[in-house]
Chains A and B, each alone.
Chain A
Amino acid sequence: MAFPAIILADLTPRWLNAASGATTSFVNLPWMGTLGVWVAAGLTLFMFSFIYRDNPFFKFGEHLYLGISAAYLMCVLWHQFFKPKFIFPLLPFTDPTSATKLNLLVIIPGILGFFILLRLIPKLAWLSRITFAFYVGGIAGFAIYNVINGLFLPQFHSTLNPLSFTWLGFNNLVLLAGAFCVLVYFFFSLEHRGAMGHVSRIGIYFLMIAFGASFGYTIMARVSLLIGRMQFLLFDWMHLERIFPGAGM
């Protein structure tokens, strides 16, 4: 919800503070920093106004964020990827450092990338399949080996621990039982009745506990974001640490 204010709210004031070496004192901030704080605070309040009800201020902030983040992403990709990886190797004289050598091979990925854009033209959209075929084939090729070795086998191995009459053994038993019951729940080739139904029912309980833990962490995360915004409003913007001793970031 606070996304539209984030770029200006979180980046501008602290970044300017750090760059200028200024303290958090209001009077020591450069005027751009001050403007940034006020714009960020305004946008934060615009976003918080949605708590009351949907309104034009919220809409403005929301659309502003989408525009800014899309433009920001485009700039980053243009300067850090497209230019050094495609333009400079193709046209070395455009590289201001003159460090890039001519590399005509970049034309091949360039053409493949261009094919994806042809999805916008229905008659030529089929050309994009060539790129996707290349991409899917390549990704699958190196993903299968790495996923088996880096994900499947270590996770499988960690489930198979020795059982014993110790606390660790009990933990291992719970882990094994949980993994087994949840796998049974996701086994759809047999009807979940009788013993199968009971085991899958236990699987649901394990899943519910996992979802509960996940929900608890989610609440913690959302509260943390709210605290971050409040700290910004109370201290970066309103400077209430001057009135309340001991408060501040």
Chain B
Amino acid sequence: MKRFLEWFLVLDRRIIYTLVALAVIVPLLFPLNLRIYPTPEVESVHESLNELPAGSPVLVSVDFDPAALPELYPMLISMLRQSFQQKLKVFITCLWPNGVNLAPMAIDQVITDMKKLDPEFDVVDGEDYVYLGYQPGTVLVMLKMAQDIRKAFPKDVAKRETSTLPIFEDTWKLSQMKYMVMIEAGDTGDYWIVYGTTPNKVPVGAGVTGVMAPQYFPWLQAKQVDGIIAGLKGAAEWEVLLGYAGSATKSMDPQSIVHALIFLAIILANIFAFWLAAIKRKEERS
């Protein structure tokens, strides 16, 4: 027994990697369809958007790059789906240079998916939504957006003058946004809260990577963010609330299995460590 305990407590990391790989692959191939329960933090974002009347301007900031794609991209899809379903006016910005191509990809995907559901579905670029692309300067861009979004982004990604676009007829500054969802993989979210949404009194939902989620709870406590969509789990909850099974929902089976595996490993390692210590104490006494 002692030898087994010693072997287990210095288990080769490659065995652990193999177990984790199996815990991911098997549920992906044989889905368990475990139930997902939306949390109040995600419900809050969904409800806030749900309460907006058609035509309300909303801002989406796509501040992540492909490294965070598995976690954050499903949130972007959900945000666009809900906004287009409710006929909201969607302003999309990007303050991360490496993420500039992600929004067009998501817009294309959502429009294609929604046309499959409803052949009459239609949104017009520049009228119902606009993708303003990337601007460097982060905080300076936010401060300029507070004055005039058209000056912060003189042209959209299609090189059209933003001042000529119909979507800007009634909305041209940050404080006129009825809601904002920032999808963040770095510090840009903090800057949005401090320099963008708080001074301009724009309610904001934060879609963030799992790593960043704990640091956003103080913002939630202070009511500086309206809700938090934390990592892939948060994205799956949003999909459940919208009533469709996207990539996040389908990822929850392996996510749960791996968590269970890690939990089991921690419990067993602790029990075995105490057990081994007890055996050694017993040996020393005898």
Contact = CB atoms under 8 A, between A and B. Distances in A.
B69 A227 contact: no
B50 interface: no
A227 B73 CA distance: 14
A197 interface: no
Interface stretch (B52-60, B120-128, B173-181, B217-225): B217-225
Contact of B66 (A10, A149, A151, A221): A10
Given A217-B230, A230-B25, A231-B251, A10 B69 contact: yes
A72 B65 CA distance: 12
A116 interface: no
B30 A247 contact: yes
Contact of A221 (B139, B154, B210): B210
A229 B66 CA distance: 12
Interface stretch (A31-39, A126-134, A153-161, A184-192): A153-161
Contact of A220 (B25, B112, B195, B210): B210
A164 interface: no
Contact of B231 (A80, A224, A240): A224
B222 A226 contact: no
Interface residues of B, number: 63
Secondary structure type dominating chain B contacts: helix
Contact of A81 (B136, B159, B209): B136
Contacts, number: 162
A237 to B, nearest CB: 13
Contacts of A217: 210-214, 230-231
B28 A234 contact: yes
Interface stretch (A12-20, A55-63, A117-125, A198-206): A12-20
Interface in B222-240: 222-224, 230-233
B161 A14 contact: no
Nearest to A9: B66
Interface in A147-176: 147, 149-151, 154-155, 157-158, 175
26 contacts: A6-B66, A9-B66, A18-B112, A72-B98, A73-B97, A76-B134, A77-B97, A77-B136, A97-B159, A142-B143, A146-B194, A149-B198, A150-B198, A151-B193, A155-B222, A158-B223, A217-B213, A217-B230, A221-B231, A223-B258, A226-B258, A227-B24, A231-B247, A231-B251, A234-B29, A247-B28
Given A84-B155, A151-B194, A247-B30, 5 more contacts: A80-B100, A154-B223, A220-B210, A224-B70, A234-B25
Interface of A: 2-3, 6-7, 9-11, 14-15, 18-19, 21, 51-52, 69, 72-73, 76-77, 80-81, 84, 97, 99, 139, 142-143, 146-147, 149-151, 154-155, 157-158, 175, 210, 213-214, 217-221, 223-231, 234, 240, 244, 246-249
